[in-house]
């Protein structure tokens, strides 16, 4: 599987670890950057490009990494077609794929050990979308809104 990875300085060490680990696992890995450690770099460009590459390459998945993962998830989700989930437990990585058909995960490198984060990534990559009609329906609703940016949908009566 092709996997795109992008980070900032806070996620650089984890990204490099994952690049090497995933290559050893047989994945086609694309390191979007940064390619050198720079303590003053900013995450948006790396995460935006990671998300764009995933969307342009159907069947691929992406990983964005920073200190907390929050900003990285927000940045990736600005790309139409990205469904990025912030992952902090193995079960969340699994549910992100099964229920949300997430194509990008965000990880906070300062929040997890290398082993924990590697486990999240392995679970994310190994878990398929369930195809459950209710989950597919919800994803389609989000895609429709994203494609057309209509007025917000009506809320059901309380």
- Any idea which residues carry the catalytic annotation? 72, 99
Helix axes 90-100, 133-148, angle to 10 degrees: 80
Peptide bond into 34 cis (omega under 30): yes
Whole-angstrom distance, CA of residue 158 vs CA of residue 150? 23
Q: Which parts of 1-158 fold into alpha helices (H)? A: 12-24, 43-56, 70-77, 90-100, 114-126, 133-148
Which residues pair with residue 64 across a beta bridge? Answer: 6, 106
Q: Is the CB of residue 66 less than 8 Å from the CB of residue 43?
A: yes
- Return the ∠ at Cα 63 (arms to 60 and 67), rounded to 5°: 170
């Amino acid at each position: 599987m092709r996997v795109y990875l992008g980070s900032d300085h806070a996620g650089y060490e984890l990204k490099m670890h994952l690049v090497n680990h995933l290559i050893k696992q047989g994945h086609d890995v694309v390191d979007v950057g940064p390619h050198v450690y720079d303590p003053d770099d900013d995450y948006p460009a790396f995460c935006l490009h990671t998300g764009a590459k995933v969307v342009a390459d159907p069947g691929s998945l992406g990983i964005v990494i920073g200190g907390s993962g929050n900003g990285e998830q927000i940045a990736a989700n600005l790309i139409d077609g990205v469904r990025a989930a912030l992952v902090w437990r193995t079960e969340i990585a699994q549910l992100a794929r099964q229920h949300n058909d997430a194509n990008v995960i965000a990880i906070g490198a300062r929040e997890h050990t290398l082993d924990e984060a590697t486990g999240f990534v392995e679970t994310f990559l190994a878990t398929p979308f369930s195809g459950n009609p209710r989950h597919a329906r919800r994803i389609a609703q989000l895609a429709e809104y994203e494609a057309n940016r209509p007025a917000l949908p009506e809320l059901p009566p309380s």
